[in-house]
Copies of this chain bind each other. A is one copy, B any other.
Amino acid sequence: MATIRDVAKLASVSIATVSHVVNGTRFVEPATSDRVRTAIHELGFEADGIARSLRVRKTSTMALIIPDLTNPFFPELATVIQQEAVRSQYDVVIHSTDVPHGNSEELLGHYLRTIRQKRYDAVIYAETLSATPAVQQLLATGVPVVVIGGTAHPEVDSVYIDDYAAARDVTAWFVAKGHRAIAHISGAAQMSSSEERRRGFLEGLAAAGLPARPDFDVAGTFLRDGGYQAMLQLLACSPRPTAVFAANDLTAIGAILACLDSGLRVPDDIGIVGFDDTMLASTYRPTLTTVYHGQREIGAEVVRLALARIRGEFPEERQKIIVPHRLVERQSA
């Protein structure tokens, strides 16, 4: 593979000049730069990004850490992030900690190491179970970190939707539709989004003067099977709920499957709403009433912030960006 030196020799100029024509970083006599360009073409030269990175201390790549590539929400988010990043000539390497398969702690540790080693310019952290220590560790190394999700971290930039308000809205919407027996299937334990949504649900109930029945507040996992199991529990209650707010779309689909398998009809016998508004929501039948999670806006903001930090902007206050959510009404409730 040709190096800058080969090009310089072939064009009879110094390597400095080659560098400058490649990067357009200072004026070069047209005749000279033509010679250089010809040489580059002839040799099939492509500047070595590694050497360049070593010199300029920047890799033009950022890491994105997500819990699960299998929940469509994350690919959708990742796609937006990639699209945004590519516009600034950035690569993004996606690290899935693969939470559903359970080896996530180990994987996360590995990823954190390679992120340091490979000197990525920034990391975008979409809340995984162990957000706090991981983020702490990352910050200690000095990499710009931006978090997706509302984990209270005064020391990092973050962007997220107001899970609490969204959940309250869903509950209020159920109430407005006449429901009185409203249940919630929460997300994975210890994630702030799970907790916030649950809190919003409870608050929605309270605001409507409805009692919070403990058996209408069951734990899920953010996965389909968790939704299925939880719904089975709910169906065993008597009287059973007429409306269920599921912590995400996967959970909602699991819940619907449990209803179908139990001979109940959605939304006729029981209304179900999900969360995220992934492609599943519009594909599944019944189509899912759900909350749009702002993947487009979150993706855009998050890379905007990351790039700004890389450039060293706004060093003082950390940004907390709350992106609007929106209830999308479809068939399931």
| Chain copies in the assembled complex | 2
Chain A stretch 259-309: residues in CB contact (< 8 A) with chain B: 260, 279-280, 283-285
Contact in complex: B47, A117 (CB < 8 Å): yes
Contact in complex: B61, A224 (CB < 8 Å): no
Q: Is A32's beta carbon under 8 Å from chain B? A: no
Contact of A91 among B49, B86, B98, B114 (CB under 8 A): B114
Contact of A78 among B53, B69, B92 (CB under 8 A): B69
Contact in complex: A70, B79 (CB < 8 Å): yes
B-side contacts of A48, CB under 8 Å = 54, 117, 119
Contact of A98 among B79, B93, B283 (CB under 8 A): B79
Most buried by B among A94, A107, A140, A260: A94
Closest B residue to A250 by beta carbon equals B283
Whole-angstrom distance from the CB of A33 to the nearest CB of chain B?
Answer: 20
Contact in complex: B117, A46 (CB < 8 Å): yes
Q: Is A83's beta carbon under 8 Å from chain B? A: yes
Question: Interface 1/0s, chain A 104-141, versus B by CB < 8 A?
Answer: 00010010011011110000000000000000000011
B-side contacts of A117, CB under 8 Å = 46-49
Report how far A123 CA is from B260 CA in the complex, Å: 44
Interface size on A, residues (CB 8 A): 50
Q: Is A255's beta carbon under 8 Å from chain B? A: no
Contact in complex: B96, A61 (CB < 8 Å): no
Report how far A212 CA is from B245 CA in the complex, Å: 49
Q: Is A44's beta carbon under 8 Å from chain B? A: yes
Question: Interface 1/0s, chain A 45-59, versus B by CB < 8 A?
Answer: 011111101100001
Whole-angstrom distance from the CB of A295 to the nearest CB of chain B?
Answer: 11
Report how far A286 CA is from B118 CA in the complex, Å: 46
Contact in complex: B279, A119 (CB < 8 Å): no
Chain A stretch 25-45: residues in CB contact (< 8 A) with chain B: 44
Given contacts A61-B93, A93-B61, A93-B93, are A118 and B79 in contact (CB under 8 A)? no
Report how far A186 CA is from B292 CA in the complex, Å: 32
Report how far A51 CA is from B56 CA in the complex, Å: 12
Whole-angstrom distance from the CB of A221 to the nearest CB of chain B?
Answer: 15
B-side contacts of A61, CB under 8 Å = 93, 118
Q: Is A169's beta carbon under 8 Å from chain B? A: no
Closest B residue to A261 by beta carbon equals B285
Q: Is A239's beta carbon under 8 Å from chain B? A: no
Contact in complex: B75, A118 (CB < 8 Å): no
Q: Is A76's beta carbon under 8 Å from chain B? A: yes
Given contacts A44-B140, A91-B118, A260-B285, are A70 and B59 in contact (CB under 8 A)? no
Q: Is A253's beta carbon under 8 Å from chain B? A: yes
Closest B residue to A59 by beta carbon equals B50
Identify the 8 closest CB pairs spanning chains A and B, nearest first: A49-B117, A93-B93, A69-B75, A49-B118, A46-B116, A50-B54, A50-B53, A69-B79
The 18 listed contacts between A and B (C-beta, < 8 Å) are A1-B141, A1-B142, A46-B141, A48-B54, A48-B117, A49-B114, A50-B50, A51-B54, A69-B78, A69-B82, A70-B72, A70-B76, A70-B79, A79-B98, A86-B110, A91-B93, A91-B114, A93-B94
